[in-house]
Amino acid sequence: MMWLRKKLDQIKPLFEKDGKFASLHPVFDAFETFLFVPNHTTGPRQEVHVRDAMDLKRMMVTVIIALVPCLLFGMWNVGHQKALATGIAMTGWEKFLFGLEKTLPIIIVSYVVGLGIEFTFASIRKHSVNEGFLVTGMLIPLVVPPTIPLWQVAVATAFAVVLGKEVFGGTGMNVLNVALTARAYLYFAHPSDIAGSGIWVATEKQATVDGYTGETALSVAATTASKLKEAGQAFSAESVVQALNDYMGGMFTFKNMFLGTIPGSIGETSTLMCLIGALILIATGVGSWKIMVSAFGGAYLTALFFNAIASDAYMAMPAHYHLVMGGLAFGIVFMATDPVSAAHTETGKWIYGFLIGVITILIRVLNPAYPEGIMLAILFMNVMAPLIDFYVVEANKKRRLSRATV
Amino acid sequence: MSKTIKLKQGFDIRLKGKASENLVQDISASVYALKPTDFHHITRPKVLVKEGDRVKAGTPIFFDKQNPSVMLAAPVSGEVIEVKRGERRFPLEIKILADKTLEYEQHPTYNLEQISKLSRQEVTDLMTKSGVWANIIERPFGLIAHPEHTPKAIFISGFDTSPLAPDYDLLLRGEEVALQAGIEALRKLTDGKVYLSLSAKKPSKVLEGLQGVEINYFEGKHPAGNVGVHIHHLAPLTKGEYVWTVHPYGVAQIGKLFLKGIYDATTIFALTGPEVASPQYYKTYRGAQLRPFLKDNLTRDEHELRIISGNVLTGEKVNIDGFLGFYHHQVTVIPEGNYYDFMGWILPISKTSTSLSFHKGLGMLSALFPKKEYVLDTNYHGEERPFVQTGIYEKVLPMDIYVEFLLKACLANDLDNMEALGIYEVIEEDIALCEFIDPSKQKMQKTLRDGIETLLNS
């Protein structure tokens, strides 16, 4: 790779101070450091002389690798859902290629728009470009339905990067999870394209099979509960499970929901793939297992609590169903564990994760308008995380003060 | 009551080039230097000698106007050949060309029993004017102890867990009597206890037999040997309190002052690191020029190497004509890392493939080889970024301190929070490992010292 290095060294002066393209230095720097780890060496004193081989780029790429199972499965599932909805027979490859065709443009738009904004801000601020968007750019396509208009992806990404991150000072300073900010923007600005039925499956306007409504498992569960209530019928856990099992001849069985062969956002339907991602994140130490465990625990316990009340059928739905439905697993594994917007203290992470689980189920079960809760729960807890940390740190200060002998 | 404290947090940086037990006595340096920059917060040093002056071993060379009773003394006798100055004439190195046979400043001598009968004032006076006082470091802040402060305890760490650290038994062999005399003198300086902490796995035989100290054992990875960790677990420090810490070498030097009446700067240091042909121990004097020890013992040209007085975490870069630091008993030589690494941030196999990592991220497989010794260079392996990864610093710091929050308080010059979050308990060496493992490549030691300076100047 010497020729490449030589080429870079040749054009480097153009981007240095007083060079022709000095204002584009961060852009050049981003490409250069992407190709080559720079030759920076540690300082002569007041600094360690050796550094760990891990850096932020490697950390972010580890997250992207953890996302790959969800991404690949999601692409296949986009095709699979089309086949189910339209009744057209498709081979596995055809399904995957159809999904690729639908997903790739979203990924490209997300990265081009996001990185474009990052480069612009870095050039204006004379910063180097941070790696944070590498992950965000992959997360955004995975939490939107395959039918999302590309211009909306572009606008949402721009909104999230500018208002969710850059106004706070960039990667490491943001309060909210950037990808979820994009999702929240879409939810509030373009609700008809990101919520409800009919948007989760890219049917390409082809005729659907009889009885197909394109709902997600969550909305099937919620509507079943309200229908039973309206009809004044007796309800039980079985009635919701029955309704889920009956839908489209067994689409929403527990097994299918765990595997992810159900309609939903591109990357978040498969709990199994999320768990594979979780294993990668935990094994590499990049994602916090404490947040994951406590969030799943919080959700499960809250669902059990509602089982005990069981004043409608949805409340009575078996608690473990909640764990495989909707974006819960994806949100917990990839969004809640974002180290910047989560609680920074280890004690705080237990509380933060647990409350995410609790609030998700509260929103799901009690909110009549919108059956999914993980996004708002994480965003709400993002805002609360500094407060949790504040109290954990205050406790530490108190401990320190209490030891004082004078 | 002696205790064994097991520490879970920590990380051992396993470097190649551990010193063999061989002690070389026949190589010696001719030039020695005393460097005011070896001591923290010496802002107004007053140099007492000028070029051409003759000094004895133990002759005061400079003092700090903020702490004027404490003298810093010549390690050897000879002629002052240069007072090298830096910005605003700040003295950087005071170089002495050593005599063949040393002459010493003579002070009164005492035996063990007599030392225990001296008053605190008498002990302090002798120690401050003779030059040995600089061995006593005061916490908070890691400054040379102020003679007017009374420490609540004195701490001696009897082992070193930093990378390629010297074996204290080799450093101190034969100094048992001097060590005991040093302990007797130190006991005069505090109303509290003198704590000696030893490694639970391999306690120093020389130190274990000392009397008049409370011995505790610590078990764990680095920084288990750091005196700051011992203080945190045995007698935590809060605002308004002082503890003093002394390296066992300093204890022996203090002992020799009382027993022989001289400032004996004889020291042993370990020459270590992957780029040293035969890593071993050398006997010399404090502040020795390193060239005689290094010149035939490096594996390649010195310009491709980083010569560090001290260890790779807290040491100082010197060149081959540089000098052994005042507090250092180790010199480490590692390769410089000023190369570009193609796709080095993602490839599992690259130039950096032998790199050691605390983390287990993509391609970082060093955790699978717990005994392998690594050749680490000075490359950053990345670029400086804001704090992103959380909760990792606490995994390598066995103290109840939130490093990230403390450093943010330092960055924000938030004095109240610095105090509340534990700045009194740590100095650079305690958080050096946090700096090593940080994927954001921040300069944590410098941030902490800047915070301490802000606090000192406020």
Q: State mean pLDDT over B193-202.
A: 95
Check whether residue A191 and residue A221 sit in a common domain.
no
Check whether residue B48 and residue B141 sit in a common domain.
no
Question: Cβ-count burial of B122 within 10 angstroms (0-12 exposed, 13-18 middle, 19+ buried)?
Answer: middle
At A225-261, the pLDDT tens digits run 778 777 777 677 788 888 888 887 788 899 999 999 9
Q: State mean pLDDT over A302-314.
A: 88
Residue B446 within a domain = yes
Check whether residue A116 and residue A231 sit in a common domain.
no
Q: Is B343 on the interface with A (CB under 8 A)?
A: yes
To the nearest whole number, what is the mean pLDDT of chain A?
Answer: 90
Whether pLDDT at A307 is above 60: yes
Q: Is B77 on the interface with A (CB under 8 A)?
A: no
Q: Domain limits at B53?
A: 31-98
Check whether residue B134 and residue B92 sit in a common domain.
no
Check whether residue B249 and residue B123 sit in a common domain.
yes
To the nearest whole number, what is the mean pLDDT of chain B?
Answer: 93
ipTM value for the complex: 0.95
Cβ of A58 and B378 within 8 Å?
no
Tell me the nearest-neighbour CA distance from B181 into chain A, angstroms. Answer: 31
Residue A39 within a domain = no
Closest-CA residue in chain A for B395? A346
Q: State mean pLDDT over A256-267.
A: 93
Check whether residue A95 and residue A164 sit in a common domain.
yes
Tell me the nearest-neighbour CA distance from A362 into chain B, angstroms. Answer: 28
Q: Is B446 on the interface with A (CB under 8 A)?
A: yes
Write down the pLDDT at residue B292: 96
Check whether residue B57 and residue B174 sit in a common domain.
no
Residue A74 within a domain = yes
Q: State mean pLDDT over A316-341.
A: 93
Picking from B442, B443, B444, B436, the residue whose alpha carbon sits closest to that of residue B359 is: B436
Check whether residue B182 and residue B48 sit in a common domain.
no
Write down the pLDDT at residue B348: 67
Check whether residue B147 and residue B193 sit in a common domain.
yes
Residue A151 CA to residue A163 CA, distance in Å, equals 18
Check whether residue A354 and residue A289 sit in a common domain.
yes
Residue A110 within a domain = yes
Lowest mean per-residue pLDDT among A206-210, A372-376, B93-97: A206-210
CB pairs under 8 A between A and B: 232
Domain CATH number, residue B90: 2.40.50
Whether pLDDT at A96 is above 90: yes
Check whether residue A68 and residue A181 sit in a common domain.
yes
Question: Cβ-count burial of B74 within 10 angstroms (0-12 exposed, 13-18 middle, 19+ buried)?
Answer: buried
Residue B5 CA to residue B200 CA, distance in Å, equals 8
Tell me the nearest-neighbour CA distance from A28 into chain B, angstroms. Answer: 15
Residue B24 within a domain = no
Write down the pLDDT at residue A406: 47
Q: Is B421 on the interface with A (CB under 8 A)?
A: yes
Best of A31, A51, A394, A396 to mutate (most B CBs within 10 Å, chain B): A51
Q: State mean pLDDT over A385-395.
A: 96
Check whether residue A147 and residue A65 sit in a common domain.
yes
Check whether residue A235 and residue A137 sit in a common domain.
no
Check whether residue A153 and residue A244 sit in a common domain.
no
At B260-314, the pLDDT tens digits run 999 999 999 999 999 999 999 999 999 999 999 999 999 999 999 999 999 999 9
Check whether residue B90 and residue B119 sit in a common domain.
no
Q: State mean pLDDT over B191-201.
A: 95
Write down the pLDDT at residue A33: 87
Residue B186 CA to residue B244 CA, distance in Å, equals 10
Q: Is A345 on the interface with B (CB under 8 A)?
A: yes
Q: State mean pLDDT over A34-44.
A: 89
Q: State mean pLDDT over B73-93.
A: 95
Check whether residue B58 and residue B174 sit in a common domain.
no
Check whether residue A351 and residue A239 sit in a common domain.
yes
Residue A58 CA to residue A284 CA, distance in Å, equals 11
Check whether residue A387 and residue A274 sit in a common domain.
yes
Q: Is B435 on the interface with A (CB under 8 A)?
A: yes
Residue A28 within a domain = no
Using an 8 Å CB-CB cutoff, list chain A residues near B238.
400-401, 403-406
At A60-77, the pLDDT tens digits run 999 999 999 999 999 999
Check whether residue B113 and residue B250 sit in a common domain.
yes
Whether pLDDT at A176 is above 70: yes
Whether pLDDT at B351 is above 60: no
Q: Encode chain A in three state secondary structure.
A: CHHHHHHHHHHHHHHCCCCCCHHHHHHHHHHHHHHEECCCECCCCCCCCCCCCCCHHHHHHHHHHHHHHHHHHHHHHHHHHHHHHHCCCCCHHHHHHHHHHHHHHHHHHHHHHHHHHHHHHHHHHCCCCCCHHHHHHHHHHHCCCCCCCHHHHHHHHHHHHHHHHHHHCCCCCCCCCHHHHHHHHHHHHCHHHCCCCCCCCCCCCCCCCCCCCCCCHHHHHHHHHHHHHHCCCCCCHHHHHHHHHHHHHCCCCHHHHHHCCCCCCCCCCCHHHHHHHHHHHHHHCCCCHHHHHHHHHHHHHHHHHHHHHCCCHHHHCCHHHHHHCCCHHHHHHHHCCCCCCCCCCHHHHHHHHHHHHHHHHHHHHHCCCCCCCHHHHHHHHHHHHHHHHHHHHHHHHHHHHHCCCC
Q: State mean pLDDT over B417-439.
A: 95
Whether pLDDT at B1 is above 90: no
Cβ of B385 and A56 within 8 Å?
yes
How many distinct structural domains can be found in chain A?
2
Q: Is B375 on the interface with A (CB under 8 A)?
A: no
Cβ of B334 and A50 within 8 Å?
yes
Q: State mean pLDDT over B92-117.
A: 95
Picking from B411, B363, B408, B384, the residue whose alpha carbon sits closest to that of residue A56 is: B384
Check whether residue A257 and residue A390 sit in a common domain.
yes
pLDDT band at B396 (very low <50, low <70, confident <90, very high): very high
How many distinct structural domains can be found in chain B?
3
The partner residue sitting opposite A396, judged by closest CB among B308, B391, B402, is: B402
Q: State mean pLDDT over B338-353.
A: 73
pLDDT band at A301 (very low <50, low <70, confident <90, very high): very high
- pTM for this prediction: 0.94
Number of H helices, E strands in chain A: 17, 1
pLDDT band at A381 (very low <50, low <70, confident <90, very high): very high
Check whether residue B189 and residue B210 sit in a common domain.
yes
Residue A17 within a domain = no
Whether pLDDT at B207 is above 50: yes
Q: Domain limits at A164?
A: 57-195
Whether pLDDT at A311 is above 50: yes
Whether pLDDT at A309 is above 60: yes
Residue A15 within a domain = no
Write down the pLDDT at residue A227: 80
Domain CATH number, residue B183: 3.40.50
Question: Cα A135 to the chain's mean position, in Å?
Answer: 9
The partner residue sitting opposite B421, judged by closest CB among A42, A46, A397, is: A397
Residue A34 within a domain = no
- The alpha-carbon radius of gyration of chain B (Å, integer) is 22
Residue B275 within a domain = no
pLDDT band at A404 (very low <50, low <70, confident <90, very high): low
Q: Is A59 on the interface with B (CB under 8 A)?
A: yes
Check whether residue B254 and residue B398 sit in a common domain.
no
Q: Is A2 on the interface with B (CB under 8 A)?
A: no
Residue ending a domain, choose from B98, B117, B139: B98
Write down the pLDDT at residue A216: 85
Closest-CA residue in chain B for A341? B388
Q: Is residue A311 a contact partner of residue A147, using CB atoms and an 8 Å limit?
A: no
At B118-175, the pLDDT tens digits run 999 999 999 999 999 999 999 999 999 999 999 999 999 999 999 999 999 999 999 9
Whether pLDDT at B353 is above 70: no
Check whether residue B111 and residue B207 sit in a common domain.
yes
Q: State mean pLDDT over A286-298.
A: 96
Cβ of B435 and A406 within 8 Å?
no
Residue A14 within a domain = no
Write down the pLDDT at residue B354: 67
